[in-house]
């Protein structure tokens, strides 16, 4: 495990970040000014086995463990969650089926929607009603609850989601059902909307709480198994970029759906800010997928994510995912076109070159092109089988009347095109010009494709972190502890009063501080950030803006309106300042800052990278096979300059520098690449 002496963490504090991917499990250990990293194949059948093995191999006996988990994600996407029932207001049992009228693919007449996680026979309506002001207009009776308990016992439901109309304004009926369910002889996993997502929009709220129930049993069981060997202090990464206790993650696993990718964005943004590049586009290319995110000086969040076809309303880092990873399988479709992904070979059986797979993947293509060295994969701990790849690549090439190198280059072009579309989605389609950003590639495969991606999109600069292959694990390790709270208020006109809003925020902060203090966190380290969800009156969606904390002479409505108009103009290209606005939701983010590694900049030395040269190799580019220098990343020092074609080898990743590209190592150990 290579050391990075540039990192300086607080003394006598050991933090271990764990990120489980589809192909590899990454371990990042921060201790006494050093970062040590470890990488090993994932164990999909039981992810905890790979984690515990990796921690043991990394030589860690005791530490603060923070885990970026994919357990909830995989359970949702693979349909392996619990048998889940939905309890809702009588007459609204089909809210999951009705959903919204918008279509993800407008012209696809054969599009199939994701099946409801709570099937019709497990949806129960109770006679109760709360109006839009929170007043009970039809009481929920004990008899109705008793009947429900009997039906649930007969259904053999393993998890129950409770979501009544307007329960975000009055929780009484949901509390009654919760108390009754907890007293069952064999209580199911219970998820209640007023505790998971106390906001309006019954479809999104019901969907979120059902997802929470669906993955809850699996997640709580998994975390229980990990807490034994890793300790009760285990924290879990949230999709919003902050960590929470394992206990809270067991109660609200829906907050961890994009846990691993969120860690990557946190690590990339931290690294880029240290180097002086606040405006970045992150590209996390792992074994199964590629996750991209745009950070215009800040990490952007969303509360309207859709994962696997299921709306989820809790805060998440705004990440767009495509099925394009190192393990993505290449094939020829019925029309004779070369297709890559979204199916992945994963860790088992893995790419052909791992020795067990039998379908060509992106990793196999890079190996054949000379962009991976067979005897230096994972620092030499794993040898790749090039002969197997050559045989199966010839078979694939024969289907498209091409040679093996042309086919491998074609695989790379196809997977790059998938990633380019993803980057355009989060940049150009949202009013941002990618030419004004720095590309930060990471994950095991990201640095291999970064230069070609940047060239196609006109991105002028690439920043490759010192340990790109485990950047998600590093991000998980340095993430702050964060809890998110929200409340629907629906304020406009004369009701948009600072005293009223401040009172609501104070109530939320009191609850938040009580809960976090109960987790043993110091109150003097907590910082609260306030946000508003704002829209035009009558509009069906909102934009989140900062709450104007500083009191000015201007009317609060005008201050909020001005901020909203600017956001609307940036997002949609227009803003009507004559139209009134309303505040829909209040959002509170309570943070406890964790110690971050302080990177001491190094002094630039000799530009000649010769001491890092470990040999020459033939690497295939669009220009043909070119003899290229091979450099060991750990031997490169500040000021060393690299000109393409070249490969930069390290344990956790390989960086490909094509002809026409070059760059240097900056004072923070990053590799900055630009067109020459």
Kindly report, residue by residue over 395-409, the tens digit of the pLDDT.
999 999 999 999 999
Position 123 scores a pLDDT of 96
Position 12 scores a pLDDT of 55
Which architecture does CATH list for 481-592? Answer: 2-Layer Sandwich (3.30)
Contacts of 306 (CB under 8 A, 6+ apart): 104, 312
> What would the two tokens of residue 110 be?
């054969």
> Which residues is 8 bridged to in the sheet?
598
8 A C-beta contact, residue 344 and residue 39: no
Contacts of 581 (CB under 8 A, 6+ apart): 492, 534, 535, 536, 537, 557, 560, 561, 564
CA 449 from centroid of its chain's CA atoms: 20
Position 8 scores a pLDDT of 40
Contacts of 433 (CB under 8 A, 6+ apart): 427
Contacts of 415 (CB under 8 A, 6+ apart): 324, 328, 340, 341, 362, 449
Position 251 scores a pLDDT of 92
User: Residue 52 belongs to what H/E stretch?
Assistant: helix 47-57
Position 33 scores a pLDDT of 63
Position 105 scores a pLDDT of 73
CA distance linking residue 163 with residue 184, whole number of Å: 19
CA distance linking residue 513 with residue 509, whole number of Å: 6
Low-confidence ranges of the chain (pLDDT < 50): 1-11
CA distance linking residue 599 with residue 576, whole number of Å: 46
Q: Where are the alpha helices (DSSP H) in 140-201?
A: 142-155, 172-182, 193-196
Tell the residue number behind the tokens 């002809």, with chain if given: 659
CA distance linking residue 625 with residue 606, whole number of Å: 30
CA torsion sign for 615, 468, 357, 355 is: positive
Residues of the chain with CATH 3.30.1490: 481-592
3-state SS record for 14-25: EEEEEEECCCEE
**What is the CA angle 517-521-526, rounded to 5?**
90
Q: Kindly report the number of other CB atoms within 10 A of residue 362's CB atom.
A: 30
String of b and e for 581-592 (b: at least 16 CB within 10 Å)? bbbbbbbbbbbb
Find out if CATH 3.30.420.40 is the number for domain 3-76+220-259: yes
3-state SS record for 112-131: CCCCCCCCHHHEEEECCEEC
Residues of the chain with CATH 3.30.420.40: 3-76+220-259
Closest Cα to residue 526, out of 595, 590, 594, 596?
590
292 SS3 class: strand
CA distance linking residue 164 with residue 170, whole number of Å: 10
Beta-strand pair 438-442/581-592: unpaired
Closest Cα to residue 281, out of 341, 289, 291, 53?
291
pLDDT digit string, tens, across residues 252-275:
999 999 888 899 999 999 999 999
8 A C-beta contact, residue 554 and residue 577: no
Beta-strand pair 438-442/279-285: parallel
Closest Cα to residue 51, out of 191, 267, 225?
225
8 A C-beta contact, residue 263 and residue 237: yes
407 vs 192, 286, 387, 401, 655, CA distance in Å? 52, 21, 16, 9, 21
575 vs 265, 432, 478, 491, CA distance in Å? 30, 17, 38, 20
Position 370 scores a pLDDT of 94
């Amino acid at each position: 495990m290579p050391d990075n002496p540039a990192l300086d963490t607080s003394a006598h504090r050991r933090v271990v970040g764990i990120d489980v991917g589809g192909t590899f499990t990454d371990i990042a250990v921060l201790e006494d000014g050093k970062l040590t990293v470890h990488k090993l194949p994932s164990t999909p059948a039981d992810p905890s086995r790979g984690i515990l093995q990796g921690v043991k191999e990394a030589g860690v006996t005791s530490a603060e463990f923070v885990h970026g988990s994919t357990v909830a994600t995989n359970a949702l996407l693979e349909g392996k969650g619990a048998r889940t029932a939905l309890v809702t207001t009588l007459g609204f049992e089909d809210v999951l089926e009705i959903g919204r009228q918008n279509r993800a693919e407008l012209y696809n007449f054969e599009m199939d929607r994701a099946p409801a996680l709570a099937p019709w026979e497990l949806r129960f309506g109770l006679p109760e009603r709360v109006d839009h002001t929170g007043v009970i207009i039809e009481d929920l009776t004990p008899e109705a609850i008793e009947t429900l308990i009997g039906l649930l016992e007969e259904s053999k439901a393993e998890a129950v989601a409770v979501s009544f109309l307007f329960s975000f304004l009055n929780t009484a009926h949901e509390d009654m059902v919760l108390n009754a369910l907890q007293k069952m002889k064999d209580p199911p996993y219970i998820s209640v909307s007023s505790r998971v997502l106390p906001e309006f929009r019954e479809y999104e709220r019901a969907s979120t709480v059902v997802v929470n129930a669906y993955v809850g049993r699996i997640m709580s069981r998994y975390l229980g198994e990990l807490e034994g060997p890793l300790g009760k202090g285990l924290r879990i990464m949230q999709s919003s970029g902050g960590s929470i206790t394992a206990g809270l993650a067991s109660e609200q696993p829906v907050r961890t759906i994009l846990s691993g990718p969120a860690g990557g964005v946190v690590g990339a943004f931290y690294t880029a800010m240290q180097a002086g590049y606040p405006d970045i586009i992150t590209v996390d290319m792992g074994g199964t997928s590629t996750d991209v995110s745009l950070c215009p000086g800040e990490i952007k969040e969303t509360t309207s994510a859709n994962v696997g076809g299921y709306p989820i309303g809790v805060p998440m880092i705004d990440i767009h995912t495509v099925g394009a990873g190192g393990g993505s399988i290449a094939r020829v479709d019925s029309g004779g076109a070369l297709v890559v992904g979204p199916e992945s070979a994963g860790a088992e059986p893995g790419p052909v070159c791992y020795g067990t797979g039998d379908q060509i993947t992106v990793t196999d293509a890079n190996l054949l092109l000379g962009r991976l060295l067979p005897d230096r994969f994972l620092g030499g701990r794993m040898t790749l089988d090039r002969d197997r790849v050559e045989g199966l690549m010839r078979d694939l090439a024969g289907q498209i009347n091409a040679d093996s190198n042309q086919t491998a280059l074609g695989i790379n072009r196809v997977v790059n095109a998938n990633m380019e579309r993803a980057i355009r989605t989060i940049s150009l389609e949202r009013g941002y010009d990618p030419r004004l950003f720095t590309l930060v590639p990471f994950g095991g495969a990201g640095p291999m494709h970064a230069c070609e991606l940047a060239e196609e999109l006109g991105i002028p600069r690439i920043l490759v972190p010192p340990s790109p292959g485990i950047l998600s694990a590093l991000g998980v390790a340095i993430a702050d502890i964060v809890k998110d709270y929200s409340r629907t208020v629906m304020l406009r006109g004369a009701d948009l009063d600072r005293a009223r809003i401040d009172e609501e925020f104070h109530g939320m902060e009191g609850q938040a501080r009580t809960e976090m203090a109960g987790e043993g966190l110091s109150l003097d380290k907590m910082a609260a950030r306030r946000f508003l969800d704002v829209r035009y009156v009558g509009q069906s969606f909102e934009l989140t803006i900062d709450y104007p904390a500083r009191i000015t002479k201007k009317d609060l409505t005008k201050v909020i309106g001005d901020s909203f108009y600017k956001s609307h103009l940036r997002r949609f290209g227009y803003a009507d300042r004559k139209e009134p606005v309303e505040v829909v939701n209040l959002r509170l983010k309570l943070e406890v800052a964790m110690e971050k590694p302080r990177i001491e900049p190094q002094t630039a030395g000799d530009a000649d990278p010769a001491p890092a040269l470990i040999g020459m190799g033939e690497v295939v580019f669009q220009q043909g096979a070119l003899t290229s220098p091979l450099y060991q990343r750990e031997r490169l020092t500040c000021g060393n300059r690299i000109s393409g074609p070249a490969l930069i080898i390290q344990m956790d990743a390989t960086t490909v520098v094509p002809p026409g590209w070059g760059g240097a190592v900056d004072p923070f150990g990053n590799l900055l690449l630009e067109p020459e």
